[in-house]
Amino acid sequence: MKKRWMTGLVVLALAGTVALGPRVSGAATGQDNAAVQFGRLAVGEHGAVVSVDGHATRAGLEVLRAGGNAIDAAIAVGLALAVTHPQAGNLGGGGFMVIYLADEDRYTTLDFREMAPAVAHAEMYLGEDGRPVRGVNYVGWRAVGVPGTVAGFEKAHEWGRMDWADLVRPAQQLAADGFWVDPYLAGSFRRVAPTFQRYAGSAEAFLHPDGSPYAAGEKFVQPDLAWSLDQIATGGADAFYRGPIAERLVAAMEANDGLITAADLDNYRPVEREPVRGSYRGWDVISMGPPSSGGTTLVSMLNILENFDLEGADPTGAPLAHLMVESMRQAYMDRATHLGDADYHDVPVDWLVAKDRAVELAAAISPDTARKSADLGAAILTAPESPETTHYSVVDSFGNAVSTTYTIEAGFGSKVVAPGTGFLLNNEMGDFNEWPGMTDERGYVGTDPNLIAAGKRPLSSMTPTILARDGKPVALLGSPGGKTIINTVFRLVVNLVDFEMNLAQAVDAPRIHHQWMPDVVRLERAFPTGTADALMGMGHELGTGRIQGDAHCIWIYPDGARLAVADGRRSGSAAAY
Ligand code: DON
């Protein structure tokens, strides 16, 4: 297996020379002359960064080259994405980091998921008729959870090496000086413009004075966001949660019948948590535990699949797709039944990821016949989630590794901006189960673990993950995509471990999604049609395939070379030196 890794490196290193960028000078690291690569693939011996956006990737790389570590760079990338990728990059949202700290030889995770404000309760989105009022938990001021990103980044910075203000500065400059809107962002702006027009703060921050959206090629300057970042550069998270930014947020909440108070902001806390751990055919899987469902569900699916011999299997053939779908069916039913914020509800993680349980679950899978989801338990349909969130990965020359996924939930979150702040607020309250006790085929899930409560964190699917060998990080994985996220990472692990694909092949390979209910398999288009036919022959129902995820990942070779691969499905940019 080792030999194939090395072959992969040679091939990719050659591919990478196409993307060889100019030498960048001026960084004070003693590595000034190291060649920098930018592109879809980038290989370097010191450090690597990959994200959805080139400005953010560059910000992270410059931090590494200036002597910062992967934690510093991850903070700089996250802040820059808040400027250049407002669909998901954020100051007003939350997320998770899975981190390897080389000095301490230890893995940890940081939970900076949003929290429900103090007024929140299980029935807050129900109208007088006892049914949910449509859209209130999705768009507008009452959909917003208390943001966690700025506090999370400040906490992560306890492991950093560079001054905080130097990590904020690249983002602040991008906001103040502006950047050219690319066609991808212009398309997103065009689609969201009618909603932004309904909110004065959002229109002011994101539209021209006549209400039209920015088009591709126009320069987009964000003075209010630059002000917010300036406050954060000088005042840290305190400026956001207790200082001048908090004042503007609370004033807007009061003026718009929002939920969040000064006390809610003051009470927000990020939490360092133990990772969820598993193993898959000799590899270690280190991932995110509750309040994300990601790591638990991922490890549980891998445990089930491990019971099948995949020797000689075709990675895009029906027999493997079937086994993966049956693993997903089980694990997503468990997700809907058991997962939520473990600070509020007893989540049986150890039982869910136990190997002996997986042996029994695997024995219930026929090699060639689809089961019916309804036969596995009571029918629960899980509500659709929108396709915006973003994942990025960073590795430094010290050996630290940071796998981050963060979000404002929907594309552009709740669509609201507190006047004068320049950043979008999340609609993460919509990730809670909104209708207690109601679980039905229309998509409501009313199970207890994820009901709304004051201070609670809504269940997430985000799955930032590190795959390790002999205790050391080898692959940094993750993706956006709502409930598809966990299956995207599942697929990446199978591609890398079972099929020994190099990282670029693993990222490119077509993906599969099934989430127990609705009982439908979705294949990305690159699957051979014969696979879809064979799956239907086994009794699976096939839904319309869509693009699944946007996985910006890094691989660390045995000789220490770092390969960053940007997923080509949306946009993306890798850099290494
Ligand atoms: O936390 C979650 O799982 C969702 N709020 C993430 C939403 C998402 O991934 C949309 N993605 N592309």
DSSP character string of 377-433: SS--PPPP--S--EEEEEE-TTS-EEEEEEE-SSTTTTS-B-TTT--BBP-GGGGSB
Whether residue 514 is contained in a domain is answered as yes
Question: Which pLDDT score, from 0 to 100, does residue 12 have?
Answer: 44
CA angle at residue 499 from 495 to 505, to 5 degrees? 55
Exposed/middle/buried for 379, CB within 10 Å: 0-12, 13-18, 19+? middle
Whether residue 45 is contained in a domain is answered as no
| Across 8-12, 164-168, 449-453, least confident range | 8-12
Mean predicted lDDT score pLDDT of the chain: 92
Q: Is the Cβ atom of 461 under 6 angstroms away from ligand 1?
A: yes
Q: Is the Cβ atom of 550 under 6 angstroms away from ligand 1?
A: no
- Atom number in ligand 1 closest to CA 386: 10
Whether residue 68 is contained in a domain is answered as no
Exposed/middle/buried for 422, CB within 10 Å: 0-12, 13-18, 19+? buried
Q: What is the C-alpha separation between 241 and 260, in angstroms, rounded?
A: 11
Q: Is the Cβ atom of 571 under 6 angstroms away from ligand 1?
A: no
Q: What is the C-alpha separation between 192 and 187, in angstroms, rounded?
A: 9
Q: Is the Cβ atom of 388 under 6 angstroms away from ligand 1?
A: yes
- Asked if the bond preceding 387 is cis, omega within 30° of 0, the reply is no
pLDDT tens by residue, 507-538: 999 999 999 888 999 999 999 999 999 999 99
Q: Is the Cβ atom of 52 under 6 angstroms away from ligand 1?
A: no
Question: Which pLDDT score, from 0 to 100, does residue 26 have?
Answer: 35
User: Ligand 1 pocket test: which of 412, 414, 424, 485 has the largest number of ligand atoms within 8 Å of its C-beta?
Assistant: 485
| Rounded CA Rg of the chain | 22
The pLDDT of residue 257 is above 90: yes
The pLDDT of residue 1 is above 70: no
Mean pLDDT of 534-554: 95
Whether residue 35 is contained in a domain is answered as no
Q: Is the Cβ atom of 431 under 6 angstroms away from ligand 1?
A: yes
- Atom number in ligand 1 closest to CA 95: 1
The pLDDT of residue 27 is above 80: no
- State the residue range of the domain holding 540: 275-386+460-558
The pLDDT of residue 29 is above 90: no
Q: What is the C-alpha separation between 409 and 481, in angstroms, rounded?
A: 10
CB 419 within 8 A of CB 205: no
User: Ligand 1 pocket test: which of 97, 149, 332, 385 has the largest number of ligand atoms within 8 Å of its C-beta?
Assistant: 385
Question: Which pLDDT score, from 0 to 100, does residue 383 have?
Answer: 45
Number of structural domains (the chain) is: 1
Q: The domain that contains 467 carries what CATH number?
A: 1.10.246.130
Mean pLDDT of 292-310: 98
Over the range 309-347, which residues count as b (16 or more CB within 10 Å of their CB) and which as e? ebeebebbebbbbbbbbbbbbbbbbbbbbbbbbbbbbeb
Known catalytic residue at 488? no
- 431 C-alpha vs ligand 1 centroid, how far in Å? 8
Whether residue 120 is contained in a domain is answered as no
Which comes out higher in pLDDT, residue 6 or 183? 183
Backbone angles phi, psi at 283, to 5 degrees: -95, 150
pLDDT tens by residue, 394-433: 999 999 999 999 999 999 999 999 999 999 999 999 999 9
User: Ligand 1 pocket test: which of 461, 511, 550 has the largest number of ligand atoms within 8 Å of its C-beta?
Assistant: 461
Atom 9 of ligand 1, nearest CA residue: 482
- Atom number in ligand 1 closest to CA 410: 10
pLDDT tens by residue, 373-398: 888 865 455 444 445 799 999 999 99
For residue 54, the tally of other CB atoms under 10 A from its CB is 20
Question: 57, 337, 389, 463: which one is catalytic?
Answer: 389
Whether residue 506 is contained in a domain is answered as yes
How is residue 326 written in tokens? Answer: 């049956």
Atom 6 of ligand 1, nearest CA residue: 482
Whether residue 486 is contained in a domain is answered as yes
Question: Which pLDDT score, from 0 to 100, does residue 378 have?
Answer: 57
Closest alpha carbon to 332 in 457, 510, 519? 519
Question: Which pLDDT score, from 0 to 100, does residue 196 have?
Answer: 98
- Atom number in ligand 1 closest to CA 390: 12
Q: Is the Cβ atom of 148 under 6 angstroms away from ligand 1?
A: no
Question: Which pLDDT score, from 0 to 100, does residue 452 have?
Answer: 98
Taking each helix axis from N to C end, the angle separating 70-84 and 223-241, rounded to the nearest 10 degrees, works out to 130
Mean pLDDT of 347-356: 98
- Atom number in ligand 1 closest to CA 459: 1
> Read out DSSP for 446-514?
--GGGB--TT----B----EEEEETTEEEEEE---STTHHHHHHHHHHHHHHTS---HHHHHHS--EE-
Taking each helix axis from N to C end, the angle separating 318-338 and 294-305, rounded to the nearest 10 degrees, works out to 140
Q: Is the Cβ atom of 68 under 6 angstroms away from ligand 1?
A: no
Q: What is the C-alpha separation between 390 and 408, in angstroms, rounded?
A: 9
Percent of the chain with pLDDT over 70: 91
Mean pLDDT of 198-213: 98
Whether residue 75 is contained in a domain is answered as no
pLDDT band at residue 347 under the 50/70/90 scheme:
very high
pLDDT tens by residue, 176-186: 999 999 999 99
The pLDDT of residue 484 is above 50: yes
Those residues whose C-beta lies under 8 Å from the C-beta of residue 414, and which sit 6 or more positions away, are: 138, 139, 140, 141, 143, 144, 408, 424, 425, 426, 427
Three-state DSSP class for 99? Answer: strand
- Atom number in ligand 1 closest to CA 480: 12
Atom 2 of ligand 1, nearest CA residue: 460
Question: Which pLDDT score, from 0 to 100, does residue 410 have?
Answer: 96
- 78 C-alpha vs ligand 1 centroid, how far in Å? 16
CA angle at residue 184 from 179 to 190, to 5 degrees? 95
Q: What is the C-alpha separation between 509 and 411, in angstroms, rounded?
A: 25
- 144 C-alpha vs ligand 1 centroid, how far in Å? 14
Per DSSP, which regions of 47-101 are E strands?
Answer: 48-51, 94-101
Type and span of the H or E element at 283 = strand 283-287
Question: Which pLDDT score, from 0 to 100, does residue 446 have?
Answer: 83
pLDDT tens by residue, 106-122: 999 999 999 999 999 99
